[in-house]
């Protein structure tokens, strides 16, 4: 086994996109959209050509026509709705273009936040997107990775994550959480659902396994640099500096690093450009000249961003369904089970597709994302959940039908004994209830059977009508929540 060497690398340009999910109430969707528009967030549609070069930084222009052609038609309609009434991915974007300095491990990195997106996805899930770029001539890969690893942490809890500050004019943000929710996305703050048992805004999604933002990177290295496996491995794990402030790589085995990179790499454009994906980042590293990368940077900001966001949403929704299934109380939540089955069916039929792009490179990157997000495994769990729910519903329905059939059988047998005639002579005309105490044994059976049958009929009619009314109310309430 060869000894593992960390090779230096100088980066001349770095574009960083951060994604963070949150949860909101569907009943507040319209009010939230109105609030975003009041704070200069613009609804994004492909027919607004003036937006092609508005949100992505200097000299970067995306092609709306390419976005329109990259995705399959049944995906395109949902990713790029033409009106806010459409229940798809409603993107609201805002130009920021503010300069910041990130201080961590006795090092400062200057960067600019170009824009912020707040995308309202189906089923009460939203995604915050922050587009940033390095604002200096060059920087080492180690310092950039250290910056990204710390910046993506909203609420630092571990010793490794603490100690960073963000400077902006005369303001100092102690955490990324303060920057995002008190400065960049302030109008969103009142609409986020909180879990009071959990601290921080990630409590909005208790099933989400990590309160860190997902990062997407496009790094341009010096054109004379050689891109090696240790660079790509460190990119995938965001290995910048350790707790002592020294550069590090989270492996001592060069063979392991090589195997890991081979499994996760997309090297269609090697030896100049490589893309590697992991659970918390998708990073592209290239050593081509910047002036020859206009199309590539445009695609990073457009088609590759949307491809990543869509599969990131798939992961969140599959985790959401698995979590809600685990929270079901079978004894109390029979109707909730029906709603959960409906949610799974709608998500699967309307939004979840294995093929989203007709292009070869799009299919390759899609497969890469599906593997790192474990979408197939999560989907298999959800599919098993649906089967379990259906079986549970069938068992409960069979038990109810058996109980009802048992009661009806008793009445049928008793009625048969009396020749289908439970009428007592005293009941003809005006009933004299004073004679009831003197009834014979069989007349008492007739009386009890008749009264119980009438009560049961009334109860069944009342239960059926009440259930329909309550189900409609629950459906209305659910649509408003």
- pLDDT reported for residue 233: 96
Is the residue at 140 inside a domain?
yes
Q: How many whole angstroms separate alpha carbon 344 and alpha carbon 322? A: 10
- pLDDT reported for residue 243: 82
Is 319 or 281 the better-scoring residue by pLDDT?
A: 281
Handedness of CA 390, 395, 399, 401 (dihedral sign): positive
- pLDDT reported for residue 364: 93
Q: How many whole angstroms separate alpha carbon 367 and alpha carbon 254? A: 26
Average pLDDT on 378-395 reads 74
Those residues with Cβ within 8 angstroms of residue 22's Cβ, 6 or more apart along the chain or in another chain: 125, 126, 127, 128, 188, 192, 193, 201, 204, 205
Statement: residue 93 has pLDDT above 70: yes
Last residue of a domain, one of 309, 336, 353: 309
- pLDDT reported for residue 182: 93
What's the number of domains the chain is made of? 2
Statement: residue 142 has pLDDT above 60: yes
Coil, strand or helix: which one is 3? Answer: coil
Coil, strand or helix: which one is 224? Answer: coil
Summarize pLDDT for 411-421 with one digit per residue, the tens.
666 555 554 45
Is the residue at 433 inside a domain?
yes
Give, for 133, the enclosing helix (H) or strand (E).
strand 125-134
Give, for 70, the enclosing helix (H) or strand (E).
helix 64-70
Statement: residue 443 has pLDDT above 90: no
- pLDDT reported for residue 469: 78
Tell me if 125 sits within 8 A of 230, measured CB to CB. no
Average pLDDT on 371-378 reads 92
Statement: residue 253 has pLDDT above 50: yes
β partners of residue 113: 98, 132
Tell me if 373 sits within 8 A of 314, measured CB to CB. yes
Structure confidence at residue 471 as a pLDDT band (50, 70, 90): low
- pLDDT reported for residue 319: 87
Pairing of strands 10-23, 125-134: antiparallel
Is the residue at 479 inside a domain?
yes
- 227 burial (CB, 10 Å; 0-12 / 13-18 / 19+) is buried
Statement: residue 332 has pLDDT above 50: no
Is the residue at 366 inside a domain?
no
Least confident of 60-69, 146-155, 315-324: 315-324
Per DSSP, 201 falls in state: G
Coil, strand or helix: which one is 332? Answer: coil
Structure confidence at residue 197 as a pLDDT band (50, 70, 90): very low
- pLDDT reported for residue 2: 58
Structure confidence at residue 307 as a pLDDT band (50, 70, 90): very high
Last residue of a domain, one of 258, 289, 309: 309
Statement: residue 424 has pLDDT above 80: no
Is the residue at 132 inside a domain?
yes
Q: How many whole angstroms separate alpha carbon 481 and alpha carbon 479? A: 6
Tell me if 199 sits within 8 A of 192, measured CB to CB. no
Residues composing the chain: 481
β partners of residue 247: 241
Pairing of strands 10-23, 281-286: unpaired
Neighbours of 439 (CB within 10 A): 14
Is the residue at 75 inside a domain?
yes
Closest CA to 300 of 82, 66, 136, 21: 66
Residue spans of beta strands (DSSP E) within 121-250: 125-134, 139-140, 165-168, 171-173, 214-221
Average pLDDT on 345-351 reads 87
Closest CA to 109 of 158, 53, 161, 149: 149
Per DSSP, 183 falls in state: I
Percent of the chain with pLDDT over 70: 78
Those residues with Cβ within 8 angstroms of residue 6's Cβ, 6 or more apart along the chain or in another chain: 230, 234, 247, 248, 249
* Residue 218 tokens, joined: 């496009």
Is the residue at 371 inside a domain?
no
- pLDDT reported for residue 385: 72
Last residue of a domain, one of 309, 330, 357: 309
Average pLDDT on 281-298 reads 94
* Opening angle at CA 360, ends 297 and 365, nearest 5: 60
Percent of the chain with pLDDT over 90: 53
Q: Are residues 21 and 167 in the same domain?
A: yes
Mean pLDDT of the chain: 84
- pLDDT reported for residue 419: 45
Is 68 or 301 the better-scoring residue by pLDDT?
A: 301
Summarize pLDDT for 44-56 with one digit per residue, the tens.
999 999 999 999 9
Pairing of strands 139-140, 10-23: antiparallel
Phi and psi angles of residue 106, each rounded to the nearest 5 degrees, phi first: 60, 30
Q: How many whole angstroms separate alpha carbon 314 and alpha carbon 307? A: 11
Q: First vs last Cα of the chain: how many Å apart?
A: 58
Average pLDDT on 227-251 reads 92
Structure confidence at residue 383 as a pLDDT band (50, 70, 90): confident
Residue 425's domain spans which residues?
418-481
Is the residue at 138 inside a domain?
yes
Q: Are residues 300 and 426 in the same domain?
A: no
- pLDDT reported for residue 415: 59
- pLDDT reported for residue 420: 46
Least confident of 156-165, 272-281, 292-301: 156-165
Q: How many whole angstroms separate alpha carbon 213 and alpha carbon 96? A: 19
Q: Are residues 422 and 301 in the same domain?
A: no
* Residue 34 tokens, joined: 């109105």
User: Which string of DSSP letters, residue by residue, matches 415-478?
Assistant: HHHTTT----GGGSSS--GGGGGG--HHHHHHHHHHHHHHHHHHHHHHHHHHHHHHHHHHHHHH
Average pLDDT on 61-84 reads 92
């Amino acid at each position: 086994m060869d000894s593992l060497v960390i090779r230096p690398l100088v980066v001349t340009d770095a574009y960083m996109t951060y994604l963070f999910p949150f949860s909101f109430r569907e009943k507040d969707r319209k009010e939230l959209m109105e609030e975003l528009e009041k704070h200069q967030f613009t609804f994004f549609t492909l027919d607004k050509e003036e937006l092609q070069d508005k949100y992505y930084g200097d000299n970067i222009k995306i092609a709306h026509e390419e976005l329109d052609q990259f995705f399959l038609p049944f995906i395109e309609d949902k990713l790029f709705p033409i009106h806010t009434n459409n229940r798809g991915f409603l993107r609201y974007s805002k130009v920021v273009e503010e300069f910041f300095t990130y201080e961590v491990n006795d090092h400062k990195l200057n960067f600019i936040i170009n824009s912020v997106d707040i995308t309202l996805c189906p089923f009460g899930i939203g995604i915050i997107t922050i587009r940033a770029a390095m604002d200096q001539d060059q920087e080492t890969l180690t310092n950039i990775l250290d910056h990204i690893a710390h910046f993506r942490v909203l609420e630092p809890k571990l010793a490794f994550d603490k100690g960073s500050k963000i400077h902006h004019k005369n303001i100092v943000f102690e955490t990324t959480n303060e920057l995002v929710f008190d400065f960049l996305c302030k109008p969103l703050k009142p609409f986020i659902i909180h879990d009071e048992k959990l601290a921080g805004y990630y409590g909005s999604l208790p099933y989400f396994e990590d309160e860190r933002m997902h990062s997407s990177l496009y790094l341009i290295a010096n054109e004379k640099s050689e891109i090696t496996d240790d660079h790509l491995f460190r990119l995938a794990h965001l290995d910048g500096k350790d707790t002592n402030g020294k550069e590090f790589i989270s492996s001592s085995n060069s063979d392991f690093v090589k195997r890991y990179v081979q499994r996760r790499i997309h090297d269609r454009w090697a030896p100049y450009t490589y893309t590697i994906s992991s659970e918390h980042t998708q990073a592209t590293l290239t050593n081509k000249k910047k002036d020859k990368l206009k199309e590539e940077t445009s695609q990073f900001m457009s088609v590759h961003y949307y491809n990543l966001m869509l599969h990131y949403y798939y992961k969140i929704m599959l985790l959401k369904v698995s979590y809600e299934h685990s929270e079901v109380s079978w004894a109390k939540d029979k109707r909730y089970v029906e709603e959960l089955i409906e949610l799974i069916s709608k998500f699967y039929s309307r939004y979840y597709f294995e093929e989203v792009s007709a292009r070869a490179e799009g299919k390759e990157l899609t497969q890469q994302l599906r593997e790192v997000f474990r979408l197939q495994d999560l989907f298999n769990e959800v599919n098993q959940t649906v089967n379990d729910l259906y079986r549970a519903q069938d068992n409960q329905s069979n038990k109810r039908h058996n109980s009802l059939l048992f009661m009806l059988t008793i009445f049928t047998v008793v009625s048969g004994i009396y020749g289908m005639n439970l009428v007592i002579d005293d009941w003809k005309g005006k009933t004299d209830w004073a004679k009831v105490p003197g009834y014979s044994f069989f007349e008492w059976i007739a009386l009890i059977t008749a009264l119980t049958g009438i009560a049961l009929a009334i109860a069944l009619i009342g239960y059926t009508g009440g259930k329909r009314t309550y189900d409609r109310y629950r459906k209305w309430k659910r649509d408003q929540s």
